[in-house]
Amino acid sequence: MTVRLVSDEKIAETSSKGNQEKWYDSIMDSWYKLDQFGYEALAETLISVLLEKSSIETDTPFTFVRYRMEKVRAHGRERTGCVSQNFLRLGQSLITVNRLLTNHLGVPLKQKLMQLPSDKRRIAYLAEATAEYTGLTEFPRYLTLLFEVDALFCNDDRHLNNIAVIEQAGTYNYCPIFDNGAGLLSNTQILQMDVAPKALISALHARPFHTTFTRQMNSARGLYGKQLSIPKLSDKEIRDALQPMLEYYAERDRGIIADRVTECILTRQKTL
């Protein structure tokens, strides 16, 4: 079935990668996100499926958003996307750490972070200042978990506007982990399909501190401990989870996507 989306429901959200098309369906209380640069919907969906195997919701106070693949009709043509339930309740809003800390500092957060002498100091400031201003004492663990998820799945778009908390009437809560669609080498406009995955992985930089995924993750773990526990994934497990999602893409691309995604995860999980 193809879901029809109309243009007056469109919300264009700017990120460091460009504009990503999203629609909010008020009847279903759901968000639709469309592929923009490659196979972001597949990456978003697969990562949420694989996080089900982790202990995030049993060993930490945090959670993550579940996605499923969907065909949608937008701007008069069929597009591939994914859908998730809206996690914000009535009266709640999403506040990025960039906006939160910039408002408190009176200067851009990026400027403050650049004055600090090391990645470890920057991570500590971001984690502890957010915890102080929001009262979310476990935010350092939350930030570490984000960096671990990004390191495993090569999500290189965790900029300062992609880390957020939920606010309601001056009270804050943790945001479910979401917006992982830039992971798994999904941007095929920049990360070309004819380049070997390992070469692409080695050239990536983790945000927000523009360092390696492993260094960013280990700096956070050195401060706040390991948060993510997930069983080692096999080639077969990854490909089995991928199979129904690949049906949304051209047959000629399915094998290449499967190989890229599988090699990405198998390579990165060794660092955890």
Of residues 195 and 10, more confidence is placed in 195
Distances (CA, A) of 135 to 105, 171, 263: 17, 8, 40
Three-point CA angle 18, 36, 248, nearest 5°: 160
The per-residue pLDDT for range 161-170, each reduced to its tens digit, is: 999 999 999 9
pLDDT at 84 over 50: yes
Greater confidence, 63 or 8? 63
**pLDDT tens, position by position, 173-189:** 999 999 999 999 999 99
pLDDT tens, residue by residue, 206-246: 999 999 999 999 999 999 999 999 999 999 999 999 999 99
pLDDT score, position 20 = 62
Q: Are strands 68-74 and 2-4 parallel, antiparallel or unpaired?
A: parallel
Question: Tokens 């930030």 — which residue?
Answer: 143
Length of the chain: 272
pLDDT at 156 exceeding the cut of 70: yes
Q: Would the pLDDT of 145 be above 70?
A: yes
For the cut 50, the answer to whether the pLDDT of residue 128 exceeds it is yes
Q: Average pLDDT of 15-41?
A: 83
Chain mean pLDDT for the chain: 92
- pTM (predicted TM-score): 0.92
